[in-house]
Structure 1
């Protein structure tokens, strides 16, 4: 998908809090919004090149969103609001082959005490809940999730198990927001409980998907599945 908004290049200086960053744009230091509350410490390093998406909203305090960053020669999307849009586009275009039979796509549907990103169904009215997680943590082609503890993430996985027990299809999609990745695993070092929940979900019939993405300065789209190591 394309952003269809103006994209500019800047130099990252600092991140005073999880919502904002200070960057240098056209020799001027400005504050921009960071649409990702994760740590991103291995990405947002002083002096690195970042990409800003112009947001022409008069009610905003900041004129740009920081949406991507270069980690050496890898361009990584860090916009946590973009994965659902990318996956929705992929589902509509049949790019997730494992789910291509599901043609009706609904966003933000509730099951139990959780709200899942998608509820999809096919011509036989078989229903499937899909939760999407954006992944930005990478090392030498190996992607991991999460980059910080997430009780909510583990809860979603356990709710997917319950959905499966009640006869629904259920899956978790890890959308890796860069291209040069060929493996994915849960990040047990940062969140052991999430790793346990992911393995439990897999053992109980929940589908686990991991896809990398093609990231450009002005857009991002799903690319291909990568090996999952649990």
Structure 2
């Protein structure tokens, strides 16, 4: 997916709360929006280089979104809206091997008490629910999720298990918003209950996918699967 809006490469100053950060742009300190409620502390380090995307909405308080940051030489996209967009792109272009059979791709569909990111349907009207999780945390090439406790994420997994037990297939895809990853695993030290739920989901037949991305300052796309270690 290409990022068609104007991009600026700037220096990060700090992040006083989840949704706001300050950066240095053209020798001026400005406030920008952070489209990610995760901590991202290992990425958003004072003095690091970050990527801004210009947004000119009428009711916006800030002109830019902070969408990515360099962790050393590695560019990591942190825009929480990106994973769903590039998963849809991958589904339509048949890049996810096990899900190639599904020709109808629908966004934001409800099952039980959860709204899943996608409902897929094949030519025989078989339904498959797919939940998407964006991953920005990594240690030495090993990606982990979540980087903050997520009761909502655990709830989605339990709903997928319930659907599977009623004969409806489903899965969760972890989108690693970076490249050159060795593996993916749940971040048990951060949220042990999520890790437990993920393992239970796997044991009950829910598919667990992890795909890394090719990331640039003006593009991001799903590239290849990564080993999942549970």
TM-score by length of 1: 0.99
Aligned to 1:92: 92
- RMSD over aligned CA atoms reads 0.5
SS at 1:87's partner residue? Answer: helix
For this pair of structures, how many residues does the alignment match?
230
What does 1:12-27 align with in structure 2 at a 5 Å threshold? Answer: 12-27=12-27
Alpha-carbon distance in structure 1 between the residues aligned to 2:185 and 2:128: 23
Alpha-carbon distance in structure 2 between the residues aligned to 1:12 and 1:98: 40
Alpha-carbon distance in structure 2 between the residues aligned to 1:195 and 1:57: 38
Alpha-carbon distance in structure 1 between the residues aligned to 2:131 and 2:25: 36
Alpha-carbon distance in structure 2 between the residues aligned to 1:224 and 1:58: 38
Aligned to 2:106: 106
Contact 1:175 1:210 in 2 (8 A): yes
Aligned to 2:55: 55
Q: State the 1:58 CA deviation.
A: 2.1
Alpha-carbon distance in structure 2 between the residues aligned to 1:25 and 1:215: 22
TM-score by length of 2: 0.99
Runs of 4+ with deviation above 3 angstroms: none
Q: Which runs of 5 or more structure 1 residues have no equivalent in the other structure?
A: none
What does 1:81-230 align with in structure 2 at a 5 Å threshold? Answer: 81-230=81-230
Q: State the 1:151 CA deviation.
A: 0.5
Q: State the 1:166 CA deviation.
A: 1.3
Alpha-carbon distance in structure 2 between the residues aligned to 1:2 and 1:107: 20
Contact 1:74 1:180 in 2 (8 A): no
List per-residue Cα deviations over 1:156-193 (Å, max 9, x = no partner).
00000011111111100000000021200000000000
List per-residue Cα deviations over 1:85-130 (Å, max 9, x = no partner).
0100000000011101111000000000000000001101110000
Aligned to 1:37: 37
Q: Which runs of 5 or more structure 2 residues have no equivalent in the other structure?
A: none
